[in-house]
Amino acid sequence: MLKALLCVTRRDLLLAFRRRADVLTTLFFFVIVATLFPLGVGPEPALLRTLAPGILWVAALLASTLSLGRLFALDYADGTLEQMLLSPEPLSVLVIGKVLAHWLVCGLPLVLLAPLLAVQFDLPAAAMGVLLLSLLLGTPVLSLLGAIGAALTLGVRGGGVLVALLVLPLYVPVLIFGAGAVDAQASGLGGSAHLLLLGGLLAAAAALAPWATALALRIALE
């Protein structure tokens, strides 16, 4: 099963690098949204530090949502998804491989870019560290939950809008705990409690989301 998971991950990574424009669109969206907010709200350092956690987390959440439509759509169109369904390997394992590739392409770059963008908000170094850790825990949850929405809307006309409507309510706890961790650290309260809650969400999503996604894919392909 591990070999099948790694093969699916490697295949999706190769396909993603061949379609660099799709990957760069997500990154540019994140950078543009996070950069425009300081220009719009003004140069007041205290205000920027207060708004920074929410702005960066909302930008990362929306950027992650932007890429969900491509998670299964191309494999569905060319018949690859049907072959995966017929594979002797558990479909949930193959789903984990695809979600892992999605996070490596769309989530990990957001994690690495966030501390650089946080400089313009005058965040303290400790808060930047918590921001990095919160995104490192939270963005995989976004990918796992987003996979469920992408599978449920597979083949549906206007699926991109439906994915957003389905997954955004599920993203709210991740957004609250992620932004709350940075805000608590910046105010001197410490963000460990929020990070532990994010870790719990990640563990729950990792256990349940692949199974739910596999079930949704079977329903979509029947």
Residue 55 sits in which domain range? 2-221
| pLDDT, position 190 | 81
pLDDT in tens, the chain (222 residues): 778 888 889 988 898 888 888 788 888 999 998 888 888 887 788 888 888 888 999 999 998 888 887 788 878 878 788 888 888 888 888 899 999 999 999 889 999 999 888 888 888 888 888 999 999 999 999 999 999 988 888 877 666 678 888 888 899 999 999 999 998 888 888 888 999 999 999 999 999 999 999 998 888 877
CA pair distance 9, 104, nearest whole angstrom? 9
| pLDDT, position 90 | 86
| pLDDT, position 159 | 62
| pLDDT, position 200 | 94
Counted domains in the chain: 1
Q: Which pTM does this prediction carry? A: 0.90
Cα dihedral value 180, 145, 96, 27, nearest 10: -70
